[in-house]
Chains A and B, each alone.
Chain A
Amino acid sequence: MIDDRHTQAPASEGLRVSLQRVSRFFKPEKPALFDVSLDIAPGEFLYVAGTSGAGKSTLLKLLHLSESPDTGTLCFNGHDVAGLTRKVVAVLRRSMGVVFQDFKLIEDLSVASNIALALEVRGASPAMIRWRVAEVLAEVGLNGKEKELAGALSGGEQQRVAIARAIAPNPQLILADEPTGSLDTYSANFVLDMLEKVNARGATVVVATHDRMLMAARPHRTVVLDAGRAVGISQNGDFRSRSERRKTNLEEAV
């Protein structure tokens, strides 16, 4: 068996993402995203905040190339990704890891098989897959659960498996859509710990969330969306929009 584990880089180099005046319309009168411009530096940890329907998931879908902008440009490392073939999109997605609120695990497959899937599509060797699956399972604290069916795990454990699947291929960009939405505080903190750990190794991480407590406890640059528009960008974890801040300042002054 050929062991190619030593050819793998232990850490990834983050992806630079740039959106220039990007809009996405599902209904002409109600844009899911409107005129959003945003630069995400390589290795950055960014929150995308906002209430339900603000456009967070649409933004993440654009970054994951599941949706295309109706207007504006989206660039990865300076390259416009408009009009790419499905094959190239698939290849680009291999540089990303995705984590969802509903985990998106294949419930009747084992934990190890779920994680292995992300490595198999990249053409990793069976030996490499076994080694890497064991490594990431240890990292997310699920040693010994390799053979259990994903559907039999608790919500917190399932999210750990989803994170293990996302980080297993050392992606350059991690996209997490409400990753803590259905978890208790302990599991939510664990998930954020993991995402920060991967970010510390160099990966760019984008987390969509409406959990203000979480963002306050772990401050990172935050872009706030409201009705599809970027209404505020905070460098210090203050996720409130400009209007909200003005209102708060006014209240404090009074």
Chain B
Amino acid sequence: MSAPPRHRWLYLATHILRRAPSGIRRKPWIHLLSILTLSAAFLSFAATLTAAININEVVARWIGSAEMTVYLHKGTTSAQLDELRDAVLALDGIAKVDTVTPAQARTDFSRDLGALNEINAFISDEAFPASLDIYLTPTASSDGQARQALAKRLGEVKIIEEVELYDDWFNRLHALSTMGRTAALGLGVLALVVSILVVAATIRQGVSARRREIEVMRFVGATEHYVRVPFLIEGALESLLSMLIALVALHFLLNHVQDLAGDILPMLGSATLMRLPGSVLLALIAGGLLSGLLGARISLRKLEEV
């Protein structure tokens, strides 16, 4: 009593797909608990990944900004500023030099403050001396001793009050960036392991609860594929759903962080938090699906005993 061969596979697939979510329907609380656990694991991973991407972005912006700033004594004229700029440009290892007048410095500071720029009015002009932003050639930039030597040489120039090197900042940002990447990687592996274990445990419970059903299916002539595939789909669906919930939760979490930290963000070089790019989102969804399949596959090793 089977359908004509041309439709048989279609009907078999339909029956398998219809049976797949039956475990979720019949044991909703177990699956809800596992979906919540998985969502939490996926959310921590995705949030760490987002943090790492944002830290990398900040680092990249800083690397793209000036590597050395020289502040001039009060009363330095525009002509002296231009003369010094030309002199510095003539030195070895210098790629570019930007002059910053006191007025420009205040404007830039005001822009960076964003919504907090009201405090700008309380800062005296002395806090904004004329300065030169110095960009080094890649060779000079990568040579710490050359940078130090250049800073020392510039510090000896009469009209220069202070030379600021950003080595400490760069080092700290690089360390933070590396830490972010490591944390994202660690949490990614952890989320994957957690998801595989949680899905495996849930599906194993499903297999155990449906022992009789599996036995009956075999009695009436179900193939192993017919018995197993619904459990695999169930695991994949559970994991996929958890990943989607995690990504939606991340979206709202980032909106909230954006609202809370919107005033501080411009100081870090960007008015908005970076979101995970589409390709990463797709990779996460595919990863969720695969971890569910893998978890279900592991739990089905026990099916032989049923």
Picked from B1, B218, B219, the residue with its CB within 8 Å of the CB of A8 is B1
The answer to the question of B223 belonging to the interface, with a C-beta cut-off of 8 Å to chain A, is yes
Q: How large is the interface on B (under 10, 10 to 19, 20 to 34, 35 or more residues)?
A: 20 to 34
| A7-B4, A123-B9 known; A94 vs B215 contact (CB < 8 Å) | no
| A4-B3, A104-B212, A104-B215 known; A121 vs B222 contact (CB < 8 Å) | yes
The answer to whether A108 and B26 have CB atoms under 8 Å apart is yes
A96 contacts across to B, CB distance below 8 A: 221
Q: Choose among A90, A105, A119 the residue with the greatest number of B CB atoms under 10 Å from its CB.
A: A90
The answer to the question of A106 belonging to the interface, with a C-beta cut-off of 8 Å to chain B, is yes
Q: Choose among A105, A119, A168 the residue with the greatest number of B CB atoms under 10 Å from its CB.
A: A119
B54 → chain A closest CB, angstroms: 49
| A2-B7, A86-B224, A106-B212 known; A124 vs B219 contact (CB < 8 Å) | no
Q: Choose among B7, B15, B219 the residue with the greatest number of A CB atoms under 10 Å from its CB.
A: B219
B215 contacts across to A, CB distance below 8 A: 104
> Contact flags (1/0) for B170-203 with A, using CB distance below 8 Å?
0000000000000000000000000000000000
A118 contacts across to B, CB distance below 8 A: 220-221
A104 contacts across to B, CB distance below 8 A: 212, 215-216, 219
B48 → chain A closest CB, angstroms: 41
The answer to the question of B14 belonging to the interface, with a C-beta cut-off of 8 Å to chain A, is yes
The complex places the Cα of A106 from the Cα of B293 at a distance, in Å, of 26
The complex places the Cα of A126 from the Cα of B222 at a distance, in Å, of 17
Who on chain A is nearest to B225 by CB? A87
Q: Choose among B4, B15, B221, B224 the residue with the greatest number of A CB atoms under 10 Å from its CB.
A: B221
The answer to the question of A98 belonging to the interface, with a C-beta cut-off of 8 Å to chain B, is yes
A168 contacts across to B, CB distance below 8 A: 1
A120 contacts across to B, CB distance below 8 A: 11-12, 15
> Contact flags (1/0) for B205-230 with A, using CB distance below 8 Å?
00000001101111111111010000
The complex places the Cα of A167 from the Cα of B213 at a distance, in Å, of 18
The answer to whether A123 and B8 have CB atoms under 8 Å apart is yes
The complex places the Cα of A136 from the Cα of B2 at a distance, in Å, of 16
B3 contacts across to A, CB distance below 8 A: 2, 4, 7, 122-125, 128
B25 → chain A closest CB, angstroms: 10
The complex places the Cα of A91 from the Cα of B224 at a distance, in Å, of 11
The complex places the Cα of A145 from the Cα of B286 at a distance, in Å, of 44
Q: Choose among A2, A118, A122, A170 the residue with the greatest number of B CB atoms under 10 Å from its CB.
A: A122
B221 contacts across to A, CB distance below 8 A: 90-94, 96, 118, 121-122
Picked from A117, A124, A165, the residue with its CB within 8 Å of the CB of B11 is A124
Who on chain A is nearest to B8 by CB? A123
A242 → chain B closest CB, angstroms: 34
B217 contacts across to A, CB distance below 8 A: 117, 121
The answer to whether B219 and A122 have CB atoms under 8 Å apart is no
B266 → chain A closest CB, angstroms: 59
The answer to the question of A240 belonging to the interface, with a C-beta cut-off of 8 Å to chain B, is no
The answer to the question of A160 belonging to the interface, with a C-beta cut-off of 8 Å to chain B, is no
Who on chain B is nearest to A108 by CB? B26
> Contact flags (1/0) for A176-215 with B, using CB distance below 8 Å?
0000000000000000000000000000000000000000
The complex places the Cα of A169 from the Cα of B3 at a distance, in Å, of 11
The answer to the question of A24 belonging to the interface, with a C-beta cut-off of 8 Å to chain B, is no
Who on chain B is nearest to A104 by CB? B216
The answer to whether B223 and A117 have CB atoms under 8 Å apart is no
A residues lining the B interface (CB < 8 Å): 2, 4, 7-8, 64, 86-87, 90-94, 96, 98, 104-109, 114, 117-126, 128, 132, 165, 168-170
19 extra A-B contacts, CB within 8 A, seeds A93-B219, A169-B1: A4-B3, A8-B1, A90-B223, A90-B226, A94-B221, A96-B221, A104-B212, A108-B26, A117-B216, A117-B217, A118-B221, A120-B12, A120-B15, A122-B2, A122-B221, A123-B2, A123-B7, A123-B8, A123-B12
List 13 A-B pairs, Cβ < 8 Å.
A7-B3, A90-B226, A104-B212, A107-B212, A117-B220, A118-B221, A122-B1, A122-B3, A123-B7, A124-B1, A124-B2, A124-B3, A125-B11
The 9 closest A-B pairs by CB, nearest first: A94-B221, A123-B8, A93-B221, A122-B2, A169-B1, A120-B15, A121-B222, A118-B220, A123-B12
